[in-house]
Every structure is written in structure tokens, then in C-alpha cells.
Amino acid sequence: MWNRRKEEEPPPPKPVSAPPPKSEPVPVKEGIPMSSLPSRPTDTRTEVVRGGAAVIGKSVILKGQIYGREDLTIDGDVEGTVELQEHRLTVGPNGKVVATIKAREIVVLGTVQGNIETREKIEIRKDAKVVGDIRTARIVIEDGAYFKGSIDIVRAEAPKPAAVPKPQPVAVAASGSPAAAASAGDTKR
């Protein structure tokens, strides 16, 4: 349960101690998880409006570079580069992407041509078409998908969280050990 939450976003120490205050009156900040910038909680308004993921609709043709700090769904034509380091890219069934892609996680239902790098996982769904080289920690290829290219499985590196855990011990001490210990274990996975 916590794992998933964590995969979605790395809102640093708070989630660890967050489980008890489920019903706490902090709804305003609950909208923030879409933002990958913990240092900018004031951006809440714009992020909330988006509702979780930006969408490039199927009638949109876009050429150039896309950098994002939120999840993105592409259902139109995109050519260039797509970079969503900490977020998830979904290429919808109508999506045609000719680009180099970097994201935390990618799900392809349409067509992608270009090299792909994901930190966590790529899913190539049935009827999807991917041509390019893939570097990822995990890959899922459904029957009926077409893939042409190389696959390099890169084992996940652990060092990054080093900066994040710092506050944890403090929160742990305050909130009690068993849950904290469990969640600390989860983080390492």
C-alpha cells in the first residue's frame, strides 16, 4: 500500500508518518502529490487544475522538446524529445511519438520510435509498436505487441534516496518504531 504511493511520487519524509492522519484536514496539501517539487508548495493551484496528468490530445501535433514534472499522456503526434525524469509517460492508442524518451515509467499503447530510458518500468501493451533501444529496470511486453530494438536491463541504483531519508529518522522517532521500520524497509526496495 505504501509502496505504490511511493512509486508515484517522492514527497519526502511526510508520507512515512502520513498513514495515521488519513482523515486529517490537510486536503489542500493532498492535492500536491502531482508536483515533483517539494520546495514549491505554492504551485498548488495550477497542479490541481491539471488533475494528475497532462494530456496531449489526439489532434495535436507537437515538434520539439518536452520537459515535465508531472505525468503525461500523449495521444497525438510528438516529434523531438520527451523528458519526465520522475514521472510517468503514457502513449495512448492514438499516440505516435518519434522521440528520445526519458521517464520514470512508460506505458505504450500506441507507436513509439526512438530510444527509451526508464528508471523503473516500461510496459508495451498489446497492439503497441515500439522501434528503438530500451534501457530500463523492468519490462513488460504483452502478446500482440511489436518491438524492434535492443533491451538492456539496468538494475536499479540505490544511492539517490540518500538525500531524502535524512529527515526520516526524526519522523520515525516521533511516530513510533514498528511502522517506521517497515516503511524504511520498503523504501530500500
Partner 1 sequence: MSILDFAGASQTTVSFVTNYGHRLYSDDFVRQLDQVFTPLPVGANGAGFFENQANPALVSDFLAMALSFEDASFDGALVWDSLQFLASPLLQTVVARLHRMLRPGASLLALFNTEERIESVPTFAYRIQDHRTIQMVSRSHRRPAQIFNNRSLEKLFQDFHSVKFFLTRDRLREVIVRR
Residue pair 173/15 in contact by the 8 Å Cβ criterion? no
User: Among residues 56 and 139, whose Cβ is nearest to partner 1?
Assistant: 139
**Residues at the interface with partner 1 (CB under 8 A):** 124, 139-143, 145-153
Q: Give me the least distance between CB of 31 and partner 1, in Å please.
A: 37
Residue pair 93/79 in contact by the 8 Å Cβ criterion? no
Q: Give me the least distance between CB of 101 and partner 1, in Å please.
A: 17
CB atoms closer than 10 angstroms to residue 186: 13
User: Among residues 87 and 96, whose Cβ is nearest to partner 1?
Assistant: 96
User: Among residues 142 and 186, whose Cβ is nearest to partner 1?
Assistant: 142
Helix (H, G, I), strand (E, B) or coil at 122: strand
d(CA 179, CA 186): 10
User: Among residues 16 and 91, whose Cβ is nearest to partner 1?
Assistant: 91
User: What is the phi/psi pair of residue 65, to 5°?
Assistant: -110, 135
Q: Give me the least distance between CB of 145 and partner 1, in Å please.
A: 7
Q: Give me the least distance between CB of 185 and partner 1, in Å please.
A: 24
